[in-house]
Amino acid sequence: MAAGLDRDDTVIRRRLRQKVEFLVEDASAQAPPTDEEVRAWLAAHPRAFGGEARVALRQVFVSPSRRGERARPDAEAILAKLRALGPDAPTDGLGDPTLLPEELPPGPDEEVARTFGEGFAKSVAELPPGRWQGPVESTYGLHLVLVRERAAAPTPDLALVRPMVAREVLAERRTREIRALYEKLLTKYTVSIEMPRDGAPTGAPAGVAAAGAR
């Protein structure tokens, strides 16, 4: 590229880019992932090769559209009643009518998100089990929530999943090294976009010119 070959032909630039990626890929493959890298990747992606966390819950719905400004104070009053009644008491008449399920059996967190929304699921994930909590907001309104049980995702056997995790580690390493190399090259070259005289983009790909050139 120092000889200016990168400025003469799009095909040459593409081949140079492919050559850089092949070199990085070869270098990445030469060093297998360490046990520490494998464990770190698995800890950062707990659901990739293991089971899913599971949760079971009950909920009482309080409708802001029905109650207006009284929705939150009413929800807090209902929460006090629920706590006094205990986790197994019936909830008939304590909330507002809704098509949402009053109870979800043990299932993955994704099921909670599909039913009540992502924000609700994230809030529920922080609630301790065994006691009524809330109000918890969703896209539908306010909820008093009882987490009946929660089971963490089982940790996969490292010996069984190590080959698959190792491939993921190598792929991420290759991506990081290619990005780092491109960033290093960009300190020596300036990206320029050719524009027609009317200022509209031509649709041609960006060219790469030596630093200082336009």
pLDDT the model gives residue 209: 47
User: Can you give the pTM of this predicted structure?
Assistant: 0.53
Q: Tokens in use for 57?
A: 């819950």
Calpha distance 20→2 (Å, rounded): 15
Question: Do the domain assignments include residue 34?
Answer: no
Question: Do the domain assignments include residue 62?
Answer: yes
Task: Give the angle subtended at the CA of 120 by the CAs of 114 and 122, to the nearest 5°.
Answer: 95
Q: Tokens in use for 9?
A: 């032909």
pLDDT the model gives residue 208: 46
Inter-residue contact 139 to 151 (CB < 8 Å): no
Q: Tokens in use for 139?
A: 């896209």
Question: Do the domain assignments include residue 69?
Answer: yes
Question: Do the domain assignments include residue 182?
Answer: no
Calpha distance 158→39 (Å, rounded): 8
Domain ranges, residue 102: 54-151
Calpha distance 144→135 (Å, rounded): 5
CB neighbours of residue 59 within 10 Å = 28
pLDDT at 27 over 60: no
Question: Do the domain assignments include residue 131?
Answer: yes
Q: Express as a percent the part of the chain with pLDDT over 70.
A: 70
pLDDT the model gives residue 107: 86
Number of domains in the chain: 1
pLDDT the model gives residue 186: 72
DSSP character at residue 154? P
Where is pLDDT greater, at 65 or 195?
65
Under the banding of pLDDT at 50, 70 and 90, the label for residue 35 is confident
- CATH number, domain at 106? 3.10.50.40
Q: Tokens in use for 93?
A: 């008449």
pLDDT the model gives residue 39: 81
pLDDT the model gives residue 147: 95
Under the banding of pLDDT at 50, 70 and 90, the label for residue 109 is confident
